[in-house]
């Protein structure tokens, strides 16, 4: 297990997993936490880690970490006003052009070497460039309101999950099997790379390598937060699968009467990419915590690396694909036609829609669900984040 900060003071890490439009749920959870904060400016998360769309939320928080509640309100405003056209081309010319380029380039081998995907994410780049002020990260680090922020992307050449992080200068890079941590000054390209779902959004070139969605090969999503110094973590997931005791309660779904559609299969593949690794990592961390509790205290120091890490998980109490199915008619007409063949516009194929449906009705329902799910754990959140005690005073500013 990675080394955590050598301090008696808890260092809380926030883990925001990937999941396209599902990340609207995270904003609702953050809004609830902002409402619970006794000090609106205080950032309760010295370490913030995100992957895929979670990386966008993570960096949005980090950019405004000097005024946490304002940063959450800004994120909420953006997600509440989302339309698909703000993330990728959804007009007829854009959809037809991208579809023809994808078929010609990827299936027929026509065209140049520029990577092509099913959807054109150029609008997302413009949105992020307009909404994010990356200089806020350095300011937050300098004023000790932020220890580090990190985003993870997948290198197509190296096959590694690369965590790009920006933070205090005393944080060492790390090298594990197919997992590395690289200090850098975060920029727009890192977010676009982390959010580039394979085949759906085009990969992004950083230095000499093309990168895509970090969830593809991120076998240990919690690990970067521990490397960056966190010794307790709040995980905001976007999984349809309940965790813990709630996992024993079956989710009632309609019985299948036809073979699975391409969209239905793709939805399960996306879930395996974005959900399974996080759930496995949480389970592994809980087992390590149990093992740590069985080892005598005198054997803990040096070498064992089994210091317990407190984990609190907040995840959707309702299946997000069923929510997406209710809002599927919000999808722009051109995309509905484009996705009708694979079956994504049917209720059985709503798993894919739950990742791609950047529309107000769907996003706002997820925000509300996240808020309610977080408030349902209000007492646990207050205790876990020590919100019933005054925050540690801000130290003297130090160079970033």
Q: Is 308 in a helix, a strand, or coil?
A: coil
Q: Around Cβ 280, how many Cβ atoms within 10 Å?
A: 13
- Name the pairing type of β-strands 12-16 and 47-51: parallel
Q: Is 167 in a helix, a strand, or coil?
A: strand
Q: For helices 92-102 and 333-340, give the axis angle rounded to 10 degrees.
A: 30
Give yes or no: 120 in active site. no
First to last CA, the chain: 27
Give 197's strand partners.
none
d(CA 7, CA 46): 13
DSSP 162: E
Catalytic residue, candidates 17, 52, 239, 315: 52
Contact of 233 with 222, CB cutoff 8 Å: yes
Contact of 271 with 351, CB cutoff 8 Å: yes
- Name the pairing type of β-strands 179-183 and 47-51: unpaired
- Name the pairing type of β-strands 204-206 and 209-213: antiparallel
Catalytic residue, candidates 213, 240, 321, 373: 213
Rounded to 5 degrees, what are φ and ψ at 233? -135, 140
Give yes or no: 281 in active site. no
Which residues are part of the catalytic machinery? 52, 213
């Amino acid at each position: 297990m990675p080394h955590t900060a050598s301090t008696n003071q808890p260092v809380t890490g926030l883990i925001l997993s990937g999941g396209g439009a599902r990340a609207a749920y995270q904003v609702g959870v953050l809004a609830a936490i902002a409402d619970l904060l006794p000090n609106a400016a205080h950032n309760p998360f010295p370490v913030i880690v995100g992957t895929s769309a979670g990386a966008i939320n993570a960096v949005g928080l980090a950019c405004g970490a000097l005024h946490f509640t304002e940063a959450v309100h800004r994120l909420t405003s953006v997600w509440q006003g989302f339309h698909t056209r703000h993330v990728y081309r959804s007009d007829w010319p854009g959809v037809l052009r991208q579809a023809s380029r994808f078929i010609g380039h990827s299936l027929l081998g026509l065209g140049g070497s520029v990577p092509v995907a099913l959807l054109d994410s150029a609008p997302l780049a413009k949105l992020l460039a307009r909404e994010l002020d990356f200089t806020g990260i350095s300011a937050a680090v300098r004023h000790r309101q932020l220890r580090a922020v990190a985003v993870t992307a997948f290198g197509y050449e190296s096959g590694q999950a690369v965590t790009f992080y920006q933070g205090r200068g005393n944080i060492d890079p790390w090298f594990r099997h197919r997992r590395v941590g690289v200090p850098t000054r975060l920029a727009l390209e890192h977010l676009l790379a982390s959010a580039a779902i394979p085949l759906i959004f085009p990969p992004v070139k950083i230095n000499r390598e093309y990168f895509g969605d970090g969830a593809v090969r991120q076998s240990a999503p919690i690990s970067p937060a521990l490397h960056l110094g966190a010794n307790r973590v709040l995980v905001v997931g976007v999984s349809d699968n309940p965790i813990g005791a709630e996992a024993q309660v079956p989710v009632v779904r309609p019985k299948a009467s036809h073979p699975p559609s391409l969209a239905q299969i793709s939805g399960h593949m996306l879930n395996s990419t974005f959900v399974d690794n996080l759930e496995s990592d949480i389970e592994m961390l809980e087992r390590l915590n149990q093992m740590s509790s069985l080892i005598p205290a005198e054997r803990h120091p040096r070498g064992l690396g089994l210091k317990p890490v407190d984990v609190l998980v907040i995840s959707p109490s309702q299946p997000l694909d069923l929510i997406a199915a209710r809002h599927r008619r919000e999808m722009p007409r051109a995309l509905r036609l484009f996705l009708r063949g694979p079956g994504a516009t049917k209720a059985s194929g709503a798993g894919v829609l739950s990742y791609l449906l950047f529309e107000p009705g769907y996003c706002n329902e997820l925000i509300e669900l996240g808020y309610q799910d977080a408030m349902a754990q209000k007492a646990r959140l207050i205790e876990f984040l020590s919100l019933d005690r005054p925050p540690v005073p801000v130290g003297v500013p130090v160079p970033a």
